[in-house]
């Protein structure tokens, strides 16, 4: 199996976005919105037991001078707890598709990673208490770009569970 | 649910996380469900 195919399968099986959206939607997100197809994505683990991160060089024109030059495209989710499934936002009007998808280049996702580098997400108790200082890079600027506003869209997908008894 | 964040040039990750967490908690308050009992607020 070549490395490209291997990364693609890793993204489908372990990728956080594949767990959150679906493998197909995650692939579309990487390729269409981030403009980083799986052939451009690499995987790295700082220690052998770490689930690792998927990264890629930014698209041409979006490179930065920061030390962490590469984009974190996705995180592997092994042993990181429950991933709440969501539906990826999709434009309903062709004009919105043109404006927000075809003519836009998204920046990479912002993951809430704990300072220990292992935990992912913000526990509800911390969120309710407004305690977000346990996040890695809490004091650093969030990479939300310099746009005048941001929109938070929350989609929830319901799951149907079928239990079969022998 | 769509909310507009306050306009600003840069925002610390901690404040951004607080903002997102606030919106998710509000959403869970308005739309209670099984997920709200065990959810973790995720950023992406």
Label residue A56 by pLDDT band (50, 70, 90): very high
What residue ranges do the domains of chain A occupy?
A: 3-129
Instruction: Please indicate whether, in this complex, the C-beta atoms of B4 and A123 are within 8 angstroms of each other.
Output: no
State the nearest Cα–Cα gap between B2 and chain A, in angstroms. 5
The Cα of A90 is separated from the nearest Cα of chain B by a number of Å equal to: 13
Residues 2-41 of B with CB under 8 A from A: 2-7, 9-25, 27, 31, 33, 35, 38-41
Is this model's pTM higher than 0.80 or not? Answer: no
| Residue A99 to residues A12, A95, A103, Cα–Cα distance (Å) | 28, 6, 6
Q: What is the ipTM of this complex?
A: 0.74
pLDDT tens profile A20-38: 999 999 998 998 888 888 8
CB-CB neighbours of B36 under 10 Å = 16
Residues from chain A contacting residue B22 (CB–CB below 8 Å): 127
A136 neighbors A115 (Cβ within 8 angstroms): yes
Which of A86-112 are b and which e, b meaning 16 or more Cβ less than 10 Å from the residue's Cβ?
A: bebeeeeeeeeeeebeeeeeeebbbbb
- Would you state the pLDDT for residue A45? 81
Examine the pLDDT at A73 and tell me if it is beyond 60. Answer: yes
Measured distance CA(A61)–CA(B31) in Å, rounded: 41
Look at A155 and A131; give whichever has higher pLDDT. A131
Sheet of strand A53-56: strand arrangement: A42-44, A53-56, A71-75
Q: CB distance B40–A121 less than 8 Å?
A: yes
**Alpha-carbon distance A23 to A33, whole Å?**
15
């Amino acid at each position: 199996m070549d490395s490209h195919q291997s990364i693609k399968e890793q993204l489908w099986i372990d990728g956080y976005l594949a767990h959150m959206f679906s493998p197909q939607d995650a692939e579309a997100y990487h390729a269409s919105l981030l403009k980083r197809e799986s052939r451009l994505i690499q995987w790295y683990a700082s220690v052998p037991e770490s689930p690792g991160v998927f990264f890629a060089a930014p698209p041409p024109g979006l490179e930065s001078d920061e030390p962490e030059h590469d984009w974190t495209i996705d995180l592997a989710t092994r042993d990181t707890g429950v991933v709440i499934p969501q539906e990826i936002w999709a434009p309903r009007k062709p004009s919105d598709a043109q404006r927000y998808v075809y003519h836009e280049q998204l920046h990479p996702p912002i993951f809430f990673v704990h300072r220990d580098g292992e935990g992912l997400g913000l526990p509800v108790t911390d969120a309710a208490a407004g305690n977000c200082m346990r996040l890695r890079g809490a004091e650093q600027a969030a990479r939300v770009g310099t746009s005048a506003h941001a929109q938070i869209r929350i989609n929830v997908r319901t799951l149907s569970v079928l239990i079969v008894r022998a | 649910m769509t909310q507009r964040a306050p306009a600003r040039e840069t925002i610390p990750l901690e404040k951004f996380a607080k903002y997102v967490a606030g919106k998710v908690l509000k959403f869970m308050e308005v739309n209670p469900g099984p997920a709200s009992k065990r959810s973790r607020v995720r950023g992406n």
